[in-house]
Amino acid sequence: MRKVKLVCLLLVCIFILGGCVANDLPLKRKTNGREDVIKFYGFDWLTERSTIEKKFNGDFGSDYVCEENITHQNDEIDLVNVLYKGKNETALNWTVANHNVSQLQLFYIKNKSGKQYLYKGTWLFNNCNQEDEEFFYTKLDKLYPYTMKNKPLYIDKNYNTINLSYMDKSKEITLDYCCTDLLYQLNGEGDKIP
């Protein structure tokens, strides 16, 4: 009986410690993440990079390379800008919303233990025209009917955003997704979040 109690106590301690380690960022969201409507590729904000890349590998394969740029934010965290592109400097061979993705850029918060957590993401689609721009607006209108819309910007209740931009000269469409709560905190403007 004593061994059973001891094993139970050890399991409880392991679960408590595991929960503390899983949430080891010195930065906490001020908005309620359960109310997020806008997410990047369906991921909750602060999803760990390994989870994201596992999903990418399953959906698109692993034929890509990452270029990382790390910026020291403070003693607790670094910011990691990761550019995903095809091997040998080619475009990604990915299709999202029936359009070819040329590049993907994700922005992560990196803690002292080395884990990286998502706070921003950008899709870049090439060989586009104004019809493609309208396609994306129509798609976003259907996906996010309950957001504030002021084209090119979509904003949910937690001030997460999607910004769509079309560059006629380069024929590129960019979709920027951002967790504004986290971005403001990283910029030292956390008190500006409504």
**Is the CB of residue 172 less than 8 Å from the CB of residue 166?**
yes
| Percent of the chain with pLDDT strictly greater than 70 | 86
pLDDT for res 181: 93
- Cα–Cα distance measured from residue 94 to residue 22, given in angstroms and rounded to the nearest whole number: 31
Residue 153 lies in a domain: yes
- Judge whether residue 148 has pLDDT over 70: yes
Take residue 11 and report the two structure tokens written for it. Answer: 């399991």
Widest pairwise Cα distance in the chain: 75
Residue with tokens 């979709």: 175
pLDDT grade for 89, boundaries at 50, 70 and 90: confident
Overall number of domains in the chain: 1
Average pLDDT over every residue of 6-21 = 40
Residue 20 lies in a domain: no
| Half-sphere exposure (Cβ direction) of 86: Cα atoms closer than 13 Å | 12
- Cα–Cα distance measured from residue 142 to residue 136, given in angstroms and rounded to the nearest whole number: 10
Residue 68 lies in a domain: yes
Exposure string of 97-130, with b = 16+ CB inside 10 Å and e = fewer, is eebebbbbbbbbbbbeeebbbbbbbbbbbeebee
The CA-based angle 118-123-129, given to 5 degrees, is 165
- Judge whether residue 194 has pLDDT over 80: no
- Judge whether residue 188 has pLDDT over 80: yes
Average pLDDT over every residue of 78-99 = 90
- Judge whether residue 13 has pLDDT over 70: no
Q: Which residue(s) pair with 110 in the sheet? A: 78, 116
Residue 51 lies in a domain: yes
Range of the domain at 67: 29-192
- Judge whether residue 43 has pLDDT over 90: yes
- Cα–Cα distance measured from residue 164 to residue 172, given in angstroms and rounded to the nearest whole number: 11
Average pLDDT over every residue of 104-119 = 95
pLDDT for res 6: 41
pLDDT for res 9: 44
Residue 112 lies in a domain: yes
- Cα–Cα distance measured from residue 178 to residue 52, given in angstroms and rounded to the nearest whole number: 16
- Judge whether residue 16 has pLDDT over 50: no
Residue 16 lies in a domain: no
- Cα–Cα distance measured from residue 179 to residue 162, given in angstroms and rounded to the nearest whole number: 9
Residue 15 lies in a domain: no
| Gyration radius from the chain CA atoms | 19
- pTM, to two decimals: 0.84
pLDDT for res 63: 87
**Is the CB of residue 121 less than 8 Å from the CB of residue 106?**
yes
